[in-house]
């Protein structure tokens, strides 16, 4: 049953472009669905859409954190294989920008995921050659 939910979630994500956010946060924007403790401020963490999108061969991914924590930002293909780890370290509060170089991977749709202090957010990006 869990696999069916994941497949439906990915299908919805790919076809509609809806971004899903899980963890200790509330509804972020009209394009994000939040699940978590509504008593926590919605602006504690934020994963922004990459720019440019679509891109070739590099794009910038930005995120905001208001509480110090261990940040894990990674890129996955649609099969669920991790393609790249962009950030894997403790970060202080602030806004960060990371460049993703997709020079060695094929064209297609990729997902990037931010994890910090129980917060998880995933967004979609498109690489066009």
The second-level CATH assignment, the architecture, of 19-127 is Sandwich (2.60)
pLDDT tens by residue, 24-50: 433 333 344 344 444 445 568 999 999
d(CA 126, CA 56): 9
pLDDT tens by residue, 6-30: 444 454 555 555 554 444 433 333 3
Q: In 10 A of CB 49, how many CB atoms?
A: 15
Residue boundaries of the structural domains of the chain? 19-127
pLDDT of residue 9: 47
Say if residues 33 and 27 touch (Cβ distance below 8 Å). yes
Q: In the predicted model, what is the mean pLDDT of residues 49-62?
A: 97
d(CA 44, CA 53): 25
Q: Is the pLDDT of residue 58 over 70?
A: yes
Residues 6+ apart with CB under 8 A from 2: none
Going by pLDDT thresholds of 50, 70 and 90, the confidence category of residue 61 is: very high
d(CA 106, CA 40): 39
């Amino acid at each position: 049953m869990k696999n069916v939910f994941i497949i439906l979630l990915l299908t919805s994500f790919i076809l509609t472009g809806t971004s899903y956010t899980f963890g200790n946060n509330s509804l972020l924007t009209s394009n994000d669905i939040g699940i978590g403790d509504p008593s926590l401020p919605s602006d504690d963490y934020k994963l922004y859409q990459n720019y440019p999108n679509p891109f070739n061969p590099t794009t910038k991914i930005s995120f905001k954190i208001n509480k110090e924590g261990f940040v894990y930002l990674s890129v996955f293909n649609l099969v669920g294989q991790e393609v790249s780890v962009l950030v894997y370290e403790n970060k202080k509060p602030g806004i960060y920008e990371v460049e993703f170089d997709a020079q060695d991977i094929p064209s297609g749709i990729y997902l990037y995921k931010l994890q910090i202090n129980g917060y998880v957010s995933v967004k979609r990006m498109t690489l066009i050659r």
